[in-house]
Amino acid sequence: MHTRTLGSNGTTRLEVSALGLGCMGMSFGYGPPREKREMIALLRAAVDRGITFFDTAEVYGPWANEELLGEALSPVHEPLVIATKFGFSIDAQGRRQDALDSTPQNIRAVAEASLRRLKRPTIDLFYQHRVDPKVPIEDVAGAVQDLIRAGKVRHFGLSEASLTTIRRAHAVQPVTALQSEYSLWWREPEAELLPALESLGIGFVPFSPLGRGFLTGKIDAHTPFDATDMRNTVPRFSPEARRANLALVEVLGTMAARQRITAAQLALAWLLAKAPQIVPIPGTTRLERLEENIGAAAVRLDAAQIQQIEQAAARIPVHGERYSQQMARLVDR
């Protein structure tokens, strides 16, 4: 696995594996938590195969995903980069509240608690999970800057933030990475976000690079989801939308077959070809899918192939919004 470089904290740039591993689904979001021993084995298998970049958050569980990574990765001697996030309100019983909290006091408290759960001396990349409209972003950036100066955090990141917010935060504490959704069925970042990030020297970490699993070709209109699976609330995953959106998956599958790779590998290789500072974080709970995703890092697409993929995808309208109304309200505009 080759490496890529995200942005800088003002003095040091952050180097990570070209593909990271999104860990949320191991504990949260896509049905019941997976068996701990199996997930520990999967996380260590990822390290063995060259993955050095792992993404988690306090709210995944809450807390369970950070604890899982702490148990699995703290004995690992290879240098790793673990990203976690703050910004949701969680009560003392570990129940997520329908509120955001990016007050400096909470940021400091989350950092201390995350360090304990991750069993690490420093948080490598600390994202604001969602922009809190009640707290000036300058105060958020300043609080993280204090943690960087104290040696408890190395790099500052934002998630689902607008360009205005990014620029304001970056003026206080350099932003190393922005994490937002980006894939062949959500290409909005291309219009303004990607050029601005490049000009600012900020890396981009696409989450859901495989469309929450849809671009793998393993989901159709009849695929059942567990009652606790977040995709039940996403308009894009209604049976009607899935039926319509299969047209995109079929096109990707045909194009991938010509290169003797999978649709998932094509979708990830396309992202990797878009810019050298892009580091996707596909998630999985299965070793065979992990190995499939890692294989995408070896795929090279030339300019003609990229154009062909994009032109084919652009001809197929995507049906359904990417978030429920409740989650859409948390996206910074």
Q: Which residues are catalytic?
A: 60
* Residue 98 banded pLDDT, cuts 50, 70, 90: confident
Question: Cis peptide before 62, with omega less than 30 degrees from 0?
Answer: yes
pLDDT surpasses 80 at 316: yes
Q: Specify the pLDDT at position 96.
A: 84
pLDDT at 172: 98
Kindly report, residue by residue over 243-289, the tens digit of the pLDDT: 999 999 999 999 999 999 999 999 999 999 999 999 999 999 999 99
SS3 173: coil
CA distance 38 to 41: 5
Single-letter code of the amino acid located at 150: A
According to CATH, the superfamily of the domain at 3-212+274-299 is NADP-dependent oxidoreductase domain (3.20.20.100)
Q: Is the pLDDT confidence value at 105 over 80?
A: yes
Q: What is the mean pLDDT of residues 150-163?
A: 98
Q: Can you tell me the mean pLDDT for 214-239?
A: 97
Whether the pLDDT of residue 49 is over 90: the answer is yes
pLDDT digits 0-9 by tens, 52-67: 999 999 999 999 999 9
Q: What is the distance between the alpha carbons of residues 57 and 64, in angstroms, rounded to a whole number? A: 9
**What's the pLDDT at 158?**
98
pLDDT band at 94 (very low <50, low <70, confident <90, very high): confident
Q: What pLDDT, on a 0 to 100 scale, did the predictor assign at position 220?
A: 97
What values do phi and psi take at 196, rounded to 5? Answer: -70, -40
Q: Which H or E run includes 170?
A: helix 163-172
Say whether pLDDT at 97 is over 80.
no
With a cut of 90, say whether residue 110 has pLDDT above it.
yes
For residue 178, give the nearest of 188, 199, 163, 190 by alpha carbon.
163
Domain range list for the chain: 3-212+274-299
> What pLDDT sits at residue 77?
92
* Confidence label for 174 from pLDDT (cuts 50, 70 and 90): very high
Query: What's the chain's average pLDDT?
Result: 97
pLDDT at 47: 98
**Is residue 333 exposed (0-12), middle (13-18) or buried (19+ Cβ within 10 Å)?**
exposed
